[in-house]
Amino acid sequence: MPRPDTPVAPLGALTEFELRRIRLDLVTPFRTSFGSQTERDILLVRARFDDGDRVVDGWGECVCMSEPLYSSEYVDGAQQVIERYLAPLLFAAATAPTISTGPSAAAVAPLIGAIRGHPMAKAAIEMAVLDAQLRWHETNYASHLGIGRDRVPSGVSVGIFDTLDTLLTEVSAYVEQGYRRIKLKIEPGWDLEPVAAVRDLIGPDLPLQVDANSAYSRHDIDHLCRLDEFDLLLIEQPLAEEDLLGHARLAEAASTPVCLDESIISLTTASDAIETGAAEIINIKPGRVGGYLEARRIHDLSAARQVPVWCGGMLETGIGRAANCALAALDGFTLPGDISAASRFYARDIVTDPIVLDDGHVAVPEQLGLGFELDHEFLDAITTSTQTLRG
């Protein structure tokens, strides 16, 4: 199986990046402990490679939100850091006398490593380069990873609602559609009662987990232990992202496994979380950890440490959703991820073949590159701005 840092060098030179902003409405509001979303302002990155005879474009998707709520990153900031810092570093490398082709995806992180932080912006750049490389060589991400599965089990993330009746109606619809795992967003005041109601609704056999998005503190450990009675698959990120010690204490006190999400921003933080006992399970989000190559490294580390992992979602369009499907087909992803059907969030996706649910699974895309083809007509219709950067 190829290593995550295996070079797949493009044959052309890196000539431009396009930063494209699009706006997509959600089919229903999605409420979590850090707020409610009704639409997404999304930054897409296009990387162009050109050898004089052939031009190939690759696309990446930045997963940060409009405001710095889930993390310190936000869309306007990501666009600015790419424009002012990341893209110039890559253009400078691409025009160096010793370089005859554009940087490989494996070279992206080292080349922009002097810029501190901003993993979501960096991931979008790396993703666009990786997509272009794979297309240049007429292969796809699933083949590059060497995976053997052609589909992965699909879980669904259910937001917070004003009433239990609304929640149960929503969950019933997802169960009817065939999702293999239900995840409930929780927060103080919306935890024990809704979890109990959903467990009664779906029965003991369908996997159920909860996600707090850092809404609790160490003072709530005893309260969180009361979730043990509902036989949950895991409790995701209950405490602040920097509180590894608190998560380790909760892991000792509770029988429900503790899963970390926001705390995992790199291979190093994943290793530390496992070593300290703070993470019994890890949610791998490529955009959060700086890209798909780092996500693969975290997968490999977790597999070696026998720590289960699953692929989280950030309300991605078909660009990120396709890549996540391929990543989640690696052997170490033993739990259903948040790779739901595109229709879970969007009435129309920006790709020609949106991800669909079939018997509780989603198929690993077979298209070139990261596994998608864009619906350019619709993409243009929802574009709010474009910016072209050239070396």
pLDDT in tens, 20-30: 999 999 999 99
Query: How far is residue 381's CA from residue 84's CA, in Å, rounded to a whole number?
Result: 27
Convert the pLDDT of each residue in 231-240 to its tens digit. Answer: 999 999 999 9
- pLDDT for residue 7 is more than 60: no
Query: How far is residue 317's CA from residue 351's CA, in Å, rounded to a whole number?
Result: 8
pLDDT score for 103: 83
- pLDDT for residue 269 is more than 60: yes
Catalytic residue among 118, 144, 185, 321: 185
Convert the pLDDT of each residue in 297-317 to its tens digit. Answer: 999 999 999 999 999 999 999
Q: Which residue has the higher pLDDT, 208 or 95?
A: 208
Query: How far is residue 192's CA from residue 187's CA, in Å, rounded to a whole number?
Result: 10
Catalytic residue among 285, 296, 321, 361: 285
What is the secondary structure of 165-177 as a DSSP string? Answer: HHHHHHHHHHHHH
Is position 185 annotated as part of the catalytic site? yes
Is position 285 annotated as part of the catalytic site? yes
- Domains of the chain, earliest start first: 13-138+375-390 (3.30.390.10), 143-363 (3.20.20.120)
Nearest to 311 by CA among 292, 15, 113, 26: 292
